[in-house]
Amino acid sequence: MKTIQNETIEKLKTNVKGHVVLPNDPSYNEVREIWNAMIDRKPAVIVQCGEADDVSRAITFARENGLEISVRGGGHNIAGNAVCDRGVMIDLSPMTNVRIDAQKQRAYVEPGATLADFDRAAQVYGLATPVGINSTTGIAGLTLGGGFGWLTRKYGMTIDNLVSAEVIAADGNKIRTSETENTDLFWALRGGGGNFGVVTEFEFALHPVGTEILAGLIVFPFSQAKQVLTQYRKFADSAPEELNVWVVLRKAPPLPFLAETVYGKEVIVLAVFYVGDIVEGEKLIEPLRGFGDAYGEHIGVQPYVQWQQAFDPLLTRGARNYWKSHNFIELRDGALDAIVESASKLPSPQCEIFIGFIAGAANRIPADATAYYHRDAKFVLNVHGRWDDATQDQIGIVWAREFFQVSAPYASAGAYVNFMTEEEGERIAAAYGSNYDRLVQIKRRYDPENIFHLNQNIKP
Ligand code: FAD
């Protein structure tokens, strides 16, 4: 690494519209911190971008000074590649603007916007597109890896709703990309992560979902976990795409609709979401109540934005997090047994295993239509190890890895790049299946020197 001259830093400060943050600045520690407290890296320079051109300036600065580049959107990624040691962190978090064209049903979104920023703006017009289930997540990283949430069954992955993007390439130039412009790049961006450049604007298609949906939780005793899962599997087979139900196994948080005696006990939770005619939705969710003798439930009509934030209190930043994830085409008995067995040994009150249900529109898109490859996945299962104290790291990591191993024989091929930790580099090729070779070709064209390598890296 070259020593950076003071005048070089001063020139950068003068050139950028945003802020340059250095290790001796009072805000440095706060700005470099990301969601997963297991990641503690110290960039030499943080460029808090105020406009797209700041990204070009930061790239040029990094290249001229021989520094590595990391790119931060919402800072949520478990692998922590948003922040680097001794390099330049391109921090997009100040760029949060979301512009809605309600007539065209389009959103134009800056790369530092969170899902909350996005939903808030679109819902003014009763519009939405599928994004994730935790509103503090960044739209940028989520989209570039694929993106799924409550609306995915009906409207596909987040990338299936991406219409165009503006990208700053490795040479610092701005490129517009869509189905008709720079089409290879547009193909690669939809699932290929941050490998091809820095996206400075996303254009999304929006859907008229309205502002109110039917949603909530049903909490069953853990002793009924297997029977609930078995019935869930059958129910999921024929549930219409307007209805989504995810399953969470964890220790009960202090939810107001549960008796205090339930708090801290292992439970199995159905998280229910229905978009459409409410009376019809009520009818459709009724059978879920018969899966067991619930401890309690809280389901009702509520604002879409409220439900989009419902899990935020359990997913705040600052805890230590370690994930392992598999895709599933079907939930075989062995998988259900593995889930129940591991959930009976939760190593901390914050650990959980969840089954995300994504069957529907996303499965109807051919595997080679976008870089995101595993279009056959109907369920994405994530074991979420989470605790506060570094002394618990080993216990939590071992638990997550064990579950990953015992459930592997029942999983389908591949992986979801957005759920992969930093140590899972060997899964990258599998995540892209037969799309991998085309991604390598596109990487060679747009980033031959691999300056964007702090990501789930596709090597040129
Ligand atoms: P960052 O860490 O800022 O970015 C991740 C990576 O993306 C960066 O390292 C960089 O390589 C790249 N990147 C970011 N911005 C840009 C850009 N503008 N241009 C180029 N590259 C860029 N995913 C789902 O699909 N559905 C969910 O429901 C869901 N829930 C989640 C809940 C929690 C609590 C968390 C922590 C994550 C969840 N995720 C979910 C995973 C999420 O999609 C990924 O963590 C995603 O990478 C987060 O994006 P970010 O911008 O916040 O992250």
The string of DSSP letters for 331-400 reads --HHHHHHHHHHHTT-SSTT-EEEEEE--SGGGGS-TTSSS---TT--EEEEEEEEES-GGGHHHHHHHH
What's the average model confidence in pLDDT over 40-66?
97
Write the CB contacts of 83 (distance below 8 Å, at least 6 apart in sequence).
32, 34, 39, 41, 43, 70, 72, 75, 89
Write the CB contacts of 386 (distance below 8 Å, at least 6 apart in sequence).
319, 320, 321, 322, 348, 350, 351, 352, 396
pLDDT by residue (tens digit) across 232-290? Answer: 999 999 999 999 999 999 999 999 999 999 999 999 999 999 999 999 999 999 999 99
3-state secondary structure of 460: coil
CA gap 175, 182 in Å, rounded = 8
Q: How confident is the model at residue 3 (pLDDT cuts 50, 70, 90)?
A: confident
3-state secondary structure of 61: helix
pLDDT by residue (tens digit) across 101-129? Answer: 999 999 999 999 999 999 999 999 999 99
3-state secondary structure of 399: helix
In the chain, CATH 3.30.465.10 covers 98-209
pLDDT by residue (tens digit) across 368-409? Answer: 999 999 999 999 999 999 999 999 999 999 999 999 999 999
CA gap 6, 159 in Å, rounded = 42
User: Does position 295 have pLDDT exceeding 70, yes or no?
Assistant: yes
- 441: part of which helix (H) or strand (E)? helix 436-446
Please state, in angstroms and as integers, the Cα–Cα distance from residue 56 to each residue in 18, 169, 190, following that order: 12, 8, 22
**Fold of domain 98-209:** 3.30.465
Which pLDDT value is given to residue 423? 87
Mutate to test the pocket of ligand 1, among 31, 41, 76 (most ligand atoms within 8 A of CB): 76
Q: How far is the CA of 77 from the centre of ligand 1 (A)?
A: 5
Minimum-distance ligand 1 atom for the alpha carbon of 82: 9
User: Does position 2 have pLDDT exceeding 80, yes or no?
Assistant: no
CA gap 43, 257 in Å, rounded = 45
Considering only CA atoms, give the Rg of the chain: 22
CA gap 420, 412 in Å, rounded = 16
Residue nearest to atom 40 of ligand 1 (CA): 132
Residue nearest to atom 7 of ligand 1 (CA): 141
CA gap 398, 172 in Å, rounded = 42
3-state secondary structure of 442: helix
CA gap 141, 249 in Å, rounded = 26
Mutate to test the pocket of ligand 1, among 142, 312, 352 (most ligand atoms within 8 A of CB): 142
Q: How far is the CA of 147 from the centre of ligand 1 (A)?
A: 9
Tell me which amino acid residue 112 is.
Answer: G
Burial of 30 (0-12, 13-18, 19+ CB in 10 A): exposed
Minimum-distance ligand 1 atom for the alpha carbon of 137: 52
Residue 99: phi and psi, rounded to 5, are -110, 130
Question: Per the structure block, which two tokens stand in for 34?
Answer: 């990301």
Mutate to test the pocket of ligand 1, among 32, 47, 69, 77 (most ligand atoms within 8 A of CB): 77
Q: How far is the CA of 114 from the centre of ligand 1 (A)?
A: 10
Q: Which residues line ligand 1 (CB under 6 A)?
A: 35, 71-78, 81-82, 92, 111, 132-134, 137-138, 140-142, 144-145, 147-149, 193-194, 198-199, 315, 418, 455
In the chain, CATH 3.40.462.20 covers 212-419
Is CATH 3.40.462.20 correct for 212-419? yes
Tokens 């998280």 belong to 271
Tell me which amino acid residue 82 is.
Answer: A
Short-list 246, 251, 296, CA closest to 272 = 246
Q: How far is the CA of 280 from the centre of ligand 1 (A)?
A: 34
Q: For the domain bounded by 8-91, which CATH number is listed?
A: 3.30.43.10
- 233: part of which helix (H) or strand (E)? helix 225-238
Q: How confident is the model at residue 427 (pLDDT cuts 50, 70, 90)?
A: very high
CA gap 58, 49 in Å, rounded = 8
Check if the beta carbon of residue 93 is closer than 8 Å to that of residue 48: yes
In the chain, CATH 3.30.43.10 covers 8-91
Q: How far is the CA of 292 from the centre of ligand 1 (A)?
A: 36
Residue nearest to atom 41 of ligand 1 (CA): 418
Q: How far is the CA of 308 from the centre of ligand 1 (A)?
A: 16
Q: Any idea what DSSP says for residue 136? A: T
Interstrand relation of 296-303 and 207-208 (parallel, antiparallel or unpaired): unpaired
Give the chain's mean pLDDT. Answer: 97
What's the average model confidence in pLDDT over 326-339?
97
Minimum-distance ligand 1 atom for the alpha carbon of 146: 25
Interstrand relation of 88-91 and 45-48 (parallel, antiparallel or unpaired): parallel
